[in-house]
A and B are shown apart, each in its own frame.
Chain A
Amino acid sequence: MRTRKPLTVGAVAKNATALVLALIFVFPVYWMFSSSLKPQSEILSKDPVFFFTPTFENYSTATGVDLFWTYVTNSLIVTVGAVLLALLVALAASFAIARMRFKGRKGIVLIVMMAQMAPWEVMVIAMYMIARDNEMLNSIPLLTAIYFVMVLPFTIWTLRGFIAAVPVELEEAAQIDGCTRGQAFRKVIFPLLAPGLMSTSLFGFITAWNEFAMVLVLNKDKTNQTLTLWLTQFQTAFGDDWGATMAASTLFALPVLIVFLFLQRKAVGGMTAGAVKG
């Protein structure tokens, strides 16, 4: 236990500043959530209401929209599909980069680094032209493939760090015990990579779940859009129904907020270890 320091003016100011800052940063999230539970009459009030009886009517409006479950399904397909593909492809590549020496290894590392900075947002027009010429507009598989390549570089990068952090002796020991290289990977390295896989898939999930520019340009057909677009269009369609719009935003944000808050320490802590021990 630490000894309590005397309360000084500086300490009070410091804590007060911290409290105000915390309120500012959390306020938009709180306001989204509380507005989503407000009855219509309280939403349409000139002076904001801070105490009210919560209602779920906004949520039924939001989920009652045509095609809501189609958007949910589409979002889940593209996101989970992209993340799983990326994990699979990245595991192979990062294992090679972290554990093997071969000609061109450095070049590949450089390519991965550069690909992480790829200006996807700026390339939407070219993407549109390519998709159109190949009759691939409104395609869920194409969207999944694009998100897969969007998350691939940092998935390789972080997994590489995690693999490098596993002592190679473990692998050698397994091989001495009669495992093949593949078995050694599966039985020894893979289980140790669990935190790495978790954090990389979390970050990949957020990226794909969030993506806006590509789906905006490529999938004009409503049945092939994702929740990201649903949310922006919802607002236009429902005009001033801010309660329902906030319910929609909450539904969109909640999975990410929950997973992020639960995994943040584990994921990011592990990630640091992975990145540092490269």
Chain B
Amino acid sequence: MTVDSQGTATAGSQDAPGRAAGKSQTPPPPSGAKEALQPSRGRRSLPGGLLPYLLVTPALLSMAVLLLYPLISNLILSFQSVNRRELIRRETPWVGFDNYTDLLGNSEFWTVVLRSVAFTAANVALIMAIGTGIGLLLNRLGKKMRLVLSLALAFAWAMPIVASVTVFRWLFDEQFGVANWLMRTLGFSGYEQHNWFETGFSAFVIITALVVWGSVPFVALNMYAGLTTVGTELYEAARMDGASGWRTFWSVVFPNLKPFFMITTFLEIIWVFKAFTQVYAMNQGGPDRATETLPVFAYIEGMSQQHYGVAAAISILTIVMLLVAMSFYFRLILKQEDEQ
């Protein structure tokens, strides 16, 4: 089934959509976008005319209607004061930058921003460290053990997010959860009926465990696939020269796989930052709004508090922050292309 030990397996530079952090779409393949440069044998023939435009029109049109149009209405909405009353009366009073100035002057907003950034940083650091570690380990394992570990990773990868949220709630259940039993068995006191969702920090620990568990397989299996392309001679040479494992990693593996590390890190940043399902489905942003990250904050401001205009402004600010990360990502991809 899964990995056939030669690394052809999950060599996908594509991700199963929705895996890493609850995002619902796939990234462009990190290795992608080469086409502009390769004088590929694939695309010489066939002069243009109208046909190509006809062929791409349905795609462009549907993206314009269902993606661009909502984006623009989101932007417009963020300059309006639309709350419950206006919604019912279908009024759209313009308020200029009021929603933005209110938000930017609100300490609660900045708390959520800082929390989102810290949450993203912690998760991405863990995902990259653990994923890299497991990728390196996969590369050094024997055939059978590699198959066992890859299969386990594939299970975690394929698990639908909503299902895994439910399972994690069960694992950390106050009364009958296996986590409390494990803590008791390991000899820690105070885990008789420990409520893991009592404080925001503890709830974040569970959410982080879930996100990291679900995201590591993507990094690890792709890392392993990347390692198999580097070739063993380099490691052998480094080992012959008496380099330590650490040293080998930093002077052989890392430089060779630098594009992989950069691109994966940026993708994970984007995914974790906009992750909604894991955070919201786990605990609805609670306890006491303590696990609200930016997307959850926007959702609760909008749908529960019915401050639609403010919610739109929050989402625009979130998109702006995402755009910064994305611009790095795109620059990286383009640069990678130039180097080839």
B residues in contact (CB < 8 Å) with A: 1-4, 8-14, 16-19, 22-29, 31-36, 38, 40-48, 51-53, 55-56, 58-60, 62-63, 66-67, 69-71, 73-74, 77, 82, 87, 90, 134, 137, 140-142, 145-146, 148-149, 151-171, 173, 175-176, 178, 181, 213, 216-217, 225, 270, 274-277, 280-281, 294-295, 298-299, 302-303, 308, 311-312, 315, 318-319, 322, 326, 329-330, 333
Contact = CB atoms under 8 A, between A and B. Distances in A.
A61 to B, nearest CB: 15
B137 A14 contact: yes
A252 interface: yes
Chain A binding surface SS class: helix
Given A97-B56, A242-B173, A125 B302 contact: yes
A277 interface: yes
Contacts of B16: 202-203, 206, 260
A245 B41 CA distance: 53
A193 interface: no
A97 B90 CA distance: 43
B311 A278 contact: no
Contacts of B53: 96, 102
A186 B38 CA distance: 26
A31 interface: yes
Contacts of A277: 40, 42
Interface string A23-51: 11110110110010000000111111000
A210 B27 contact: no
24 contacts: A22-B149, A26-B155, A28-B171, A92-B55, A96-B51, A99-B43, A100-B47, A116-B28, A118-B25, A119-B319, A124-B298, A124-B299, A126-B77, A145-B62, A148-B66, A154-B27, A164-B42, A207-B24, A213-B24, A232-B165, A242-B173, A246-B170, A265-B9, A271-B12
A174 interface: no
A58 B25 CA distance: 33
Nearest to A43: B176
B163 A249 contact: yes
Contacts of B42: 98-99, 163-168, 277
B149 A18 contact: yes
Q: Which 5 A-B pairs have the closest CB atoms?
A: A126-B74, A260-B158, A22-B152, A268-B12, A96-B55
Given A112-B59, A213-B277, A268-B10, 11 more contacts: A19-B148, A22-B149, A32-B167, A93-B58, A99-B45, A100-B43, A202-B16, A203-B16, A207-B17, A212-B280, A278-B38
A207 B18 contact: yes
Chain B binding surface SS class: helix
B163 A252 contact: yes
Contacts of B298: 122, 124-125
A257 interface: yes
A165 to B, nearest CB: 7
B151 to A, nearest CB: 8
**Which residue, B11, B161, B170, B217, has most C-beta atoms of chain A within 10 A?**
B170
A96 B60 CA distance: 13
A116 B59 CA distance: 13
Contacts of A206: 16-19, 158, 160
